[in-house]
Amino acid sequence: MDKPLWLNPHFLPLLLTIFFFPPFPLQPSLLTALQSDYVRHPPRKVVVTQHHRSKSDPQQVHTSLAGKDYMRISWITDDKDVPSEVEYGTVSGRYNAMAVGDHTSYHYFFYSSGKIHHVNIGPLEPSTTYYYRCGGHGPEFSFKTPPQTFPIEFVVAGDLGQTEWTASTLSHVDSKDYDVFILPGDLSYADTQQPLWDSFGRLVEPYASRRPWMVTEGNHEMEMFPIIYPHGFKAYNARWLMPYQQSGSTSNLYYSFNAAGSHVIMLGSYTDFDGDSAQYKWLESDLAKVDRKKTPWVVVVLHAPWHSTNLAHKGEGESMRKAMEDLLYKARVDVVFSGHVHAYERFTRIYDNKADPCGPVYITIGDGGNREGLALVFENPTSELSVYREPSFGHGRLRVVNESRAHWSWHRNNDSDSFVADEVWLQSLTTTESCWLYPGNTDGSMVNKDEL
């Protein structure tokens, strides 16, 4: 880092990145449609999280759900001889089980990653704290498995980045217990500067090593480069391996998982989604397999919103909406979360751009706190479909109480405090009889109203 900037191997990609994605877009000076008196702050500076452990110690430890009763432990070592094994048990310091997994690594221009380990452990008991050690070295970590039955609490925050605002969002998330973290895309904002992926991994480790982090990709994960890296997602796929194989998908860019009566589908806004695409066919078969008696709640997560009244990224999710909205509607998906727009916005239930009691509730929550700052300008007048909108950083919590009710709350980062600025009770469409042809018949084989 003390070399001149132009001798740094990351300089070329950095230069190109700045050209394509200016890091600090101009903030509009005239702000309209602000809903509360809270004074909005500008972006805060990037926090670079250093590596303080030894070369064989694990760093960037994170966990994810990896199929029924299994969790995946992912971490990185500088030392390539460290084995991909995890020792674990339910008592601190006493590891009575061990699992061996895989490792990978990747190059990006002049950058070479450390050894990236992925180990699946299980079968595990629900609602249980496990203590674990990675590769036989370094500190002990622990996580809690999600419950088997309701209630379950999901935290949702997109467009996280790694600034002082990110740190504030994460500390608010952590101040109250939860079960699973859902990230609707845009993780590190490394934007080709690979050491920032490592820094991000270290920033989130205290949280992601303790609760499963389920992520999908945003545009900042692409890191495509003409001819050299035409397919993109090199760092993302190597580092943030998700349970796509366990959910019958052939791509890490879209998958699904179950957690306590909830089926969560993580879609990819930056891979093919048209009617003849692999993602579309996978989504169709995944939805057909949902058994609403076992998972009454069905939630979809994607990056570029299908509905937004913000001026930022207007219309970018429209072709995906046109391709996939019918599938979600016919399957009676309860909620669709998205990110991308750096603000919070909650819509009513929508189908075909009209309010519809059997359509999903749409929520944009791209407010994790990245370096680009907030998307401050909303359309005026607003849409009658938009219920609440506000450009502030924060996070959301979906507490699914039982098969019929869930409480959604949005927690604004009010400087160092967290403040609930929006909340609503949701009823699952499973228990909304008017949305089904045969009331009470809500298993996977049902026929619904609009198929008549």
Residue positions annotated with a catalytic role: 313
For position 401 contacting ligand NAG by CB under 6 A, the verdict is yes
Phi, psi of 335 (to 5 degrees): -140, 145
| 11 versus 419: smaller Cβ distance to ligand NAG | 419
Q: Helix/strand/coil (H, E, C) string of 336-379?
A: EEECCCCCEEEEEEEECCEECCCCCEEEEECCCCCCCCCCCCEC
CB-CB contact of 371 with 24 (8 Å): yes
For residue 290, the minimal CB distance to Fe ion (Å) is: 28
For position 419 contacting ligand NAG by CB under 6 A, the verdict is yes
Phi, psi of 282 (to 5 degrees): -65, -45
Q: Which of residues 371-390 bind ligand NAG (CB under 6 A)?
A: none
Residues forming a β-bridge with 298? 263
Residue 42 to residues 26, 225, 373, Cα–Cα distance (Å): 11, 31, 6
| 66 versus 375: smaller Cβ distance to Fe ion | 375
Q: Candidates 218, 232, 243, 296: give the one binding Fe ion (CB under 5 A).
A: 218
| 140 versus 415: smaller Cβ distance to ligand NAG | 415
For position 232 contacting Fe ion by CB under 5 A, the verdict is no
For residue 405, the minimal CB distance to ligand NAG (Å) is: 4
Q: Which of residues 216-255 bind ligand NAG (CB under 6 A)?
A: none
Burial of 6 (0-12, 13-18, 19+ CB in 10 A): exposed
For position 41 contacting ligand NAG by CB under 6 A, the verdict is no
Q: Which does 153 bind (CB under 5 to 8 A by kind): ligand NAG, Fe ion, none?
A: none
Residue with structure tokens 């430890």? 61
For position 35 contacting ligand NAG by CB under 6 A, the verdict is no
State both tokens at 373: 């700052």
| 383 versus 431: smaller Cβ distance to ligand NAG | 431
Site map for Fe ion, 185-214, x if CB under 5 A?
Answer: -x----------------------------
CB neighbour list of residue 212: distance below 8 Å, 6 or more residues apart: 63, 64, 65, 71, 143, 146, 179, 180, 181
| 153 versus 186: smaller Cβ distance to Fe ion | 186
| 13 versus 296: smaller Cβ distance to ligand NAG | 296
Q: Which of residues 112-131 bind ligand NAG (CB under 6 A)?
A: none
For position 219 contacting Fe ion by CB under 5 A, the verdict is yes
Q: 213-215 and 180-183 as β-strands: parallel, antiparallel, unpaired? A: parallel
For position 404 contacting ligand NAG by CB under 6 A, the verdict is yes
Q: At what angle do helices 195-208 and 164-174 cross, to 10 degrees?
A: 20
CB neighbour list of residue 3: distance below 8 Å, 6 or more residues apart: none
Q: Which does 340 bind (CB under 5 to 8 A by kind): ligand NAG, Fe ion, none?
A: Fe ion
For position 40 contacting ligand NAG by CB under 6 A, the verdict is no
Q: Which does 186 bind (CB under 5 to 8 A by kind): Fe ion, ligand NAG, none?
A: Fe ion
For residue 38, the minimal CB distance to ligand NAG (Å) is: 6
Residue with structure tokens 């250093």? 50
| 239 versus 332: smaller Cβ distance to Fe ion | 239
For position 414 contacting ligand NAG by CB under 6 A, the verdict is yes
Q: What is the DSSP letter of 106?
A: -
Taking contact as CB under 6 A, which single stretch among the options 182-190, 209-217, 371-379, 411-419 is the one that binds ligand NAG? 411-419
| d(C-alpha 306, C-alpha 74), whole Å | 32
Q: Candidates 405, 409, 432, 444: give the one binding ligand NAG (CB under 6 A).
A: 405
Side-chain half-sphere CA neighbours of 393 within 13 A: 32
Residues forming the site for ligand NAG (CB under 6 A): 401-402, 404-405, 414-415, 417, 419
